[in-house]
Amino acid sequence: MRSYSAVTILTYHQIAEVPPPGSPFRWLFVSPDNFQKQMKWLSRLGYIGMSLREIHPYIMGRKQGKVFGITFDDGFSNIYENALPVLIDLGFTSTCFFVSGQIGGFNKWDESKGISYTRCMSQEQIRGWAHAGNEIGAHTVDHVHLTQVGLSEAYDQICDSRKHLENISNQRITSFSYPYGDVSPDIRDVVAKSGFKLAVTLRKAQAGPEDDPLLLPRRNIRHSDGWMAACRKAIFG
């Protein structure tokens, strides 16, 4: 049974027009219009969207309120272009997890899946993201399956991504997202040793004080989730 203080952390990948039916992994896309409706309806219902670092006191039960977490994986430029204006307009904040080896590049990790190339945020966009009050999080250097590489390589992927993002942003990076939700006890410990305080998975649940702060669950928002479905997930998990 979940704690009374449990809150939902939503996760998005791309805020862009949804590819045609039959396109690989089209569920990872949420259209800009759909995203705007989801956020506006949650705001109308009295909810506030927050970054991972800001929502953690609510997860722990130290604060109470109508809140939900907003996270974006991979750091695509369409997040900056299509999601950031909505967040600013509503006074929401969020966390974006960046693949540090592809800043200003493309989603090379998706080549074998048939997903079209999409531009990742530039250094200037990342700094603008942070300047708007949003959190920068790490998502490894190359978007690797961490349990499928040696622990030494995993440490480099995790720690180097944090260092690179800190150099770009001139701020401390304390939040991490496991690529593909791929995590083991050893990988969790590497994340802890690398200096991260919070980390998110793809386990479907609400987050509460009983959760390991380095194994926090999230709820994916898919291309087919309209504003009502997104509101249900944000409010009820």
- pLDDT tens-digit map of 45-87: 999 999 999 999 999 999 999 999 999 999 999 999 999 999 9
How far is residue 76's CA from residue 99's CA, in Å, rounded to a whole number? 9
Burial class (CB in 10 A: 0-12, 13-18, 19+), 57: middle
Q: How does DSSP classify residue 125?
A: H
Number of residues assigned to the chain: 237
In this prediction, what percent of the chain has a pLDDT beyond 90?
92
Q: Which of 15, 59, 52 is nearest to 230 (CA)?
A: 15
> What does the pLDDT look like over 20-46, one tens digit per residue?
999 889 999 999 999 999 999 999 999
Complete domains list, the chain, with CATH: 9-236 (3.20.20.370)
Q: What is the pLDDT of residue 3?
A: 47
Q: Per the confidence metrics, is the pTM higher than 0.85?
A: yes
